[in-house]
């Protein structure tokens, strides 16, 4: 179960898409989620295949401590998690389904912040799913100061190839019989 704000934005997105696989970015109206607009962002894929912020709400800018427009999305995450994040984002676009990432970060003053980071696929002007409407939903109390790099704790919504590889069943032999 996700935070009610996460559910609210997922419901908004599902309403936008109707019969389409993915709604168009042009159809997004922040008035439809005004109460949480400061926690939302739009990111798009560049020609080089990197995802970068196009827009970021005030809460997200405050959390990171600087403007985000044009910044590569993966640079906000720990280097260890960047490849996995990229794979999850690509899988989310291909699946045309929401992705919720459980994340955490620490501030310079040792405040711990936990977040749900939501990614909802959108199509751009060319009709290709190449961007996201997103949400940062804190699940811990208030914090002071900007956070450091985000750590990816869990992913919900699309096939996570790295997690699947770690949990792959292996066959074993017991008394001459193969068992899982």
Local mean pLDDT, 10-residue blocks, the chain (180 residues):
95 94 95 97 91 96 95 96 96 96 89 94 95 95 82 86 47 53
Cα end-to-end span (Å), the chain = 31
For residue 169, the model assigns a pLDDT of: 43
pLDDT value at residue 158: 76
Q: Which of 145, 97, 147 is nearest to 122 (CA)?
A: 97
According to CATH, the superfamily of the domain at 4-179 is: PAS domain (3.30.450.20)
Q: Could you tell me the residue ranges of all domains in the chain?
A: 4-179
pLDDT (0 to 100) of residue 43 = 98
Q: Measured between alpha carbons, how far is 114 from 118 in angstroms, rounded to an integer?
A: 13
Closest Cα to residue 57, out of 38, 30, 35? 38
pTM: predicted TM-score of the whole model, two decimal places: 0.87
């Amino acid at each position: 179960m996700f935070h009610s704000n996460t559910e609210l934005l997922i419901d908004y997105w599902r309403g936008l898409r109707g019969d389409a696989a993915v709604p168009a970015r042009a159809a997004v109206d922040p008035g439809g989620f005004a109460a949480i607009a400061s926690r939302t962002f739009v990111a798009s894929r560049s020609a080089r295949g990197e995802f970068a912020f196009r827009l970021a709400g005030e809460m997200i800018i405050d959390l990171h401590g600087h403007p985000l427009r044009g910044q590569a999305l993966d640079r906000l995450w720990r280097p260890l998690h960047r490849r996995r994040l990229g794979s999850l984002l690509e899988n989310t676009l291909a699946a045309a389904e929401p992705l919720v990432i459980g994340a955490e970060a620490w501030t310079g003053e040792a405040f711990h912040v936990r977040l749900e980071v939501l990614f909802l696929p959108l199509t751009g002007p060319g009709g290709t799913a190449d961007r996201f409407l997103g949400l940062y939903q804190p699940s811990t109390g208030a914090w002071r100061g900007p956070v450091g790099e985000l750590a990816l704790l869990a992913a919900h919504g699309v096939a996570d190839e790295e997690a699947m590889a770690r949990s792959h069943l292996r066959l074993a032999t017991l008394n001459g019989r193969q068992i899982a």
